[in-house]
A and B are shown apart, each in its own frame.
Chain A
Amino acid sequence: MPLLEVENLKVYYPVRGGILGRVQDYVKAIDGISFAVEEGETLGLVGESGSGKSTTGKAVIGLARITQGRIRFQGEDITKYVGKNHSPYRRGVQMIFQDVYSSLNPKKRVLDIVAEPIRNFEHLTPKQEQKKVEELLDIVGLSPENALKYPHEFSGGQRQRIGIARAMALKPKLIIADEPVSALDLSVQAQVLNFMKDIQQQFNLAFLFISHDLGVVEHMCSNIAIMHKGRFVEMGSKKQIYGQPMHIYTRRLIAAIPNADPGRRKEMKGLREGVAREYDLKHSQYYTKDGRVYDLKKLRDNHFVALP
């Protein structure tokens, strides 16, 4: 039984217009996607800006209103609890945000930031609470005296660790990580990625890892879904997505990654141009007449592609 199952999820935003402000059309931010995350597994959600990958994360945790679809967590249908305070689902799913400068309240001490989820669900004495926060800071590799400092006293990488400590406070099963390292420098990024892998093993965590960086996703994820226009164009294991991408959009995305080997520069450029030509020519075959991505078709075990 998968930990999280999402079925035909849709998030539409109404477009209002005219003098009466009536709904005239919808922006289909997510237009019918289904996926599952197993316990202890990392599913990567990749796409360009505007593809709906962040909205997917927000819908799963309840920060975006679901228009249609079903979410099951540990086998239970929890669609109507999503976004409700103090539901058990809220304990099991937590989130790490991209921008470490705006996701921590600058007026709160680290103690209060990390303890906030605990205060919502558990009634502890201040002493017990402090002990728990210190344990959490220890897990993320910060010393206990940091508990009384404010966020501005930390560097970007340390702030992201505080964000992770907060997400870990209730021992969740699933963490939604929305671009957790894209604001960090390369060497700090490596620290945070290593550390996320460590806690995953230690606590059997599942990640929904949202990113635009295909290198980072390849490093972190076992399964990957590629999003475009609010739909999945391809989903499969890391090996299949990088080794045998089937959809033209996936191929284009992978060809665009700069290769860290200056000796293969010409080869990469040729590949890019080839894919770009193919994209121009055959682009319409991969989308319906109104530009929608087709439904996913099973190609082989654990490899799905949106083809007619």
Chain B
Amino acid sequence: MEEEKNKMVRKELLRISNLVTSFCINGHYYAAVDGVSLGINENEVFAIVGESGCGKSALALSILNLHNKAHTKVEGNIYFKGKDLLTLSTEELNKIRGRDIGMIFQDPLTALNPLMKIGAQIEEALFYHASMNSRSRKKRALELLEQVGIQNPGLTYSQFPHELSGGMRQRAMIAIALSCKPSLVIADEPTTALDVTIQAQILDLLGRLQKEIKSGIILITHDLGVVAEMADRVGVMYAGQLVEIADVKEIFLNPLHPYTRSLFASMPNSPAGGRGDKRLPVIEGMVPSLLNIERQGCRFAPRIPWIPASYHEEVPQYHRVKEDHVVLCSCYKNFYLRKGRG
């Protein structure tokens, strides 16, 4: 309880307001992230959950402006430490990337430079952002490797990425992301490519380090188990919008938006879903592709046709249900799961 009280007085670290990220396809811009607003506090893990194509990675890349500018338009505001990240020049952004905001990518093999030794890649961030001589950089790199649980830091320091296992590579990635003790870490599916036992180790490691350096983490994932293990607050994304934001316990005990409820129910062996040999409740239809998202009204409506159209709002609004629980569109009030279909 005490812990929860502390959360409320926490300072806001990042404020995203009305973010729209559109990709250019055949000369037209289509919004993959469509009007997302959210705040991330200091020292909290905020999880963004959704299925492929919902825009969660597009959102993460927008924060550091890592999109290809030729085909992407990012509009809105992203405030971080009093500055709007979207108005900064590349040079100004480069000072923030890696130092104040670290990033952990899904696939460490493609994110790490195959031609550079692990040690040199960790030192690179220190070289640009910290005034250290080469000896203290090396000392710090070895320290970091030890912190992320690598057994023999001296050996790993002078190895290339291909010489390491998947779990070791992801540890090295984490070491790079945390090298300058950033106040915000963006982790885009950090454990998706790993085995469960390694995943558990990496998650425990991330949780431990997060407590140590007290940074905020934006955790992007599609795995609800990972969310339950790691997150403090959760945002559920569907078709480019955040449909529900709530405290982690609240969202698992009391999910409200029809999409959240359907998604939780379709997980095998979840309390909400089919346990044992029962059939799993499924969501009708498919996730709409970027080109055919219905941009008027409730975007989830086509997938719950048994809910009459009158229950949806014409222009869906966010409803604050509790102190820390927000839902999009009023259709949640009259929603029920339909059993035995699919």
Q: Does A263 interact with chain B (Cβ within 8 Å)?
A: yes
- Which A residues lie within 8 Å of B226 (CB)? 258
Q: Does B180 interact with chain A (Cβ within 8 Å)?
A: no
- Which A residues lie within 8 Å of B271 (CB)? 260-261
Q: Does B274 interact with chain A (Cβ within 8 Å)?
A: yes
- Which B residues lie within 8 Å of A189 (CB)? 266, 268
What 1/0 mask marks residues of chain B from 280 to 305 whose CB sits below 8 Å from any chain A CB? 11110011000000000000000000
Determine which of A194, A252, A268 lies in contact with B342 in the assembled complex, contact meaning CB atoms within 8 Å. A194
A186 to B204, Cβ gap below 8 A?
A: no
A257 to B281, Cβ gap below 8 A?
A: no
Bound form: Cα–Cα A219–B327 in Å: 31
Of B12-20, B195-203, B306-314, the one with at least 4 CB within 8 A of chain A: B195-203
Within B18-55, which residues are at the interface with A (CB < 8 Å)? 51-52
Q: Does B150 interact with chain A (Cβ within 8 Å)?
A: no
Q: How many residues of B contact A (CB 8 A)?
A: 42
Bound form: Cα–Cα A157–B166 in Å: 28
- Which A residues lie within 8 Å of B203 (CB)? 258
Of A55-63, A99-107, A209-217, the one with at least 4 CB within 8 A of chain B: A209-217
A262 to B197, Cβ gap below 8 A?
A: no
- Which A residues lie within 8 Å of B195 (CB)? 48-49, 212
A187 to B228, Cβ gap below 8 A?
A: no
B279 to A155, Cβ gap below 8 A?
A: no
Contact A194 B196, CB 8 Å, known A185-B51, A186-B266, A219-B269: no
Q: Does B249 interact with chain A (Cβ within 8 Å)?
A: yes
Within B213-270, which residues are at the interface with A (CB < 8 Å)? 222-226, 228-229, 231, 248-249, 252-253, 262-263, 266-270
Count of A-B contacts judged by CB separation below 8 Å = 109
A182 CB to closest chain B CB, in angstroms? 10
Bound form: Cα–Cα A258–B226 in Å: 6
A260 to B274, Cβ gap below 8 A?
A: no
B268 to A155, Cβ gap below 8 A?
A: no
Bound form: Cα–Cα A272–B203 in Å: 12
Residue from B51, B195, B197, B271 with most neighbouring chain A CB atoms (10 Å): B197
A212 to B268, Cβ gap below 8 A?
A: no
- Which B residues lie within 8 Å of A152 (CB)? none
A185 to B200, Cβ gap below 8 A?
A: no
- Which A residues lie within 8 Å of B196 (CB)? 48, 212, 214, 253, 256-257
Determine which of A186, A256, A262, A265 lies in contact with B263 in the assembled complex, contact meaning CB atoms within 8 Å. A186
Q: Does A120 interact with chain B (Cβ within 8 Å)?
A: no
Bound form: Cα–Cα A256–B191 in Å: 13
Determine which of A187, A197, A262 lies in contact with B283 in the assembled complex, contact meaning CB atoms within 8 Å. A187
Q: Does A288 interact with chain B (Cβ within 8 Å)?
A: no
Determine which of A190, A214, A262, A263 lies in contact with B282 in the assembled complex, contact meaning CB atoms within 8 Å. A190
In the complex, the 10 A-B pairs of residues with the closest C-beta atoms, listed nearest first: A258-B225, A219-B268, A190-B266, A256-B200, A190-B280, A185-B51, A187-B283, A48-B195, A256-B196, A256-B197
Binding site for A on B (CB under 8 A): 51-52, 166, 195-197, 199-200, 203-204, 222-226, 228-229, 231, 248-249, 252-253, 262-263, 266-271, 273-274, 276-277, 279-283, 286-287, 342
A-B contact pairs, 29 of them (CB 8 A): A48-B195, A157-B286, A185-B52, A186-B51, A186-B224, A187-B51, A187-B282, A190-B268, A190-B282, A191-B342, A193-B268, A193-B280, A194-B342, A195-B342, A212-B196, A215-B267, A215-B269, A219-B276, A253-B196, A253-B197, A255-B200, A256-B197, A257-B225, A260-B225, A260-B271, A261-B271, A262-B249, A263-B249, A269-B204
Binding site for B on A (CB under 8 A): 48-49, 155, 157, 185-191, 193-195, 197, 212, 214-216, 218-220, 252-253, 255-263, 265, 268-269, 272
